[in-house]
Structure formats: structure tokens, C-alpha cells
Amino acid sequence: MLFCTNVRVKKIFCKGSIFIYIWLFRKLLLSTIVVLGTFTAFKFKGIYHKVISIGVTISVLSVWTGNRYVITGGFIAIVLLTITSFIYGLTVKELNNFEKISITTMGLFLAINSIFDFFHLPGIVKISMTVPITITLVTFLRNRKLTKEMSFMMFWLFYSTLEILRLL
């Protein structure tokens, strides 16, 4: 069995279960998206979007350490970065109103969702993630150009989609 040496993982995933493969696939996809987003961030001038992208990258890659304290710290960093994205959407000047709404709603909904996850509250908030996903997709399809905000917004979009799929 792959990765079945950890007792906690063994109870949940092992004994021929497909869940470990889904879990690893999810980790690989998130890590790939976040690294590509960070490379995209370095193509543009500015510091704020780079800080968010690098912070998200470090937080997501901390999951690979396997240390529960590092993973918890990475999760708390993700919550803080979603709040930072919300503030970024409110304060940046060179975006149009629709782009600001997209960044702000994504940051707000992800922050609320992460806080609910942190305190193990019911997952009804995950269903409301369809609102920022829809707004962000419409914004991306409307602009059709690579902007500096896409460096972290593509990850937030993918992450929020995975959060909804966890309900299934």
C-alpha cells in the first residue's frame, strides 16, 4: 500500500481504497497550479501580487512536509492570504469594477470557507462558493488577457472548485 505507514492515514485511506489516490492527485494538482501561478507573477511588475503568490506557494507546498504543525501553519497562512486578497481587491486602483468585485468576492468567500473549515463547522458555506467561481470565470472570459492578478486568482478558482467537489 502506498503511504500506509502512517497510522492515521492507514485508518482512513488504506486497505485498497481509491481515496488515497484522489488525495494525492488533489495535492499534485494544487501544487502544480500554485507553482505555475508564481511563475506567472514574476512576469509582471509590482510587489503585492507577488507576495500573495509566493505566500500561497509556500503554504500549499508545506503540505508535502507531513508535519501536522507545519501543515496547520500553512492552513492559517492560506486564511490570512485570502483576507489579503480581499483587501487587495478593495485597494488596487488599476482594475475595473468587475475585476475588483471578482477578487473581493473570491477573497471574502474563501476566507469565510477557510474559517469554517478551521473550526470544523458544517460545510454549507461551500455551496455558496459557486458565486465567486461564476464571477471569476466571467471576468476571465470577458478580459481574455493575462493580468498580474491571474497569478493567484487561478489558484483561488481551482481551490474553490475543489472545495465544492469535496461535498460530493
Q: Which domain holds residue 108?
A: 68-168
Residue 58 lies in a domain: no
Residue 103 lies in a domain: yes
What pLDDT was estimated at residue 84? 92
Residue 87 lies in a domain: yes
Residue 125 lies in a domain: yes
Residue 13 lies in a domain: no
Residue 45 lies in a domain: no
Splitting the chain (168 residues) into consecutive groups of 10 residues, what average pLDDT does each group show? 46 58 80 88 87 90 87 90 92 87 91 85 79 89 80 88 81
| Domain count of the fold of the chain | 1
Q: What is the pTM of this model?
A: 0.80
Residue 15 lies in a domain: no
What pLDDT was estimated at residue 4? 47
What pLDDT was estimated at residue 17? 66
Among candidate residues 106, 104, 91, the one with its CA nearest the CA of residue 155: 106
Q: How far apart are CA 49 and CA 42, in angstroms?
A: 9
Residue 10 lies in a domain: no
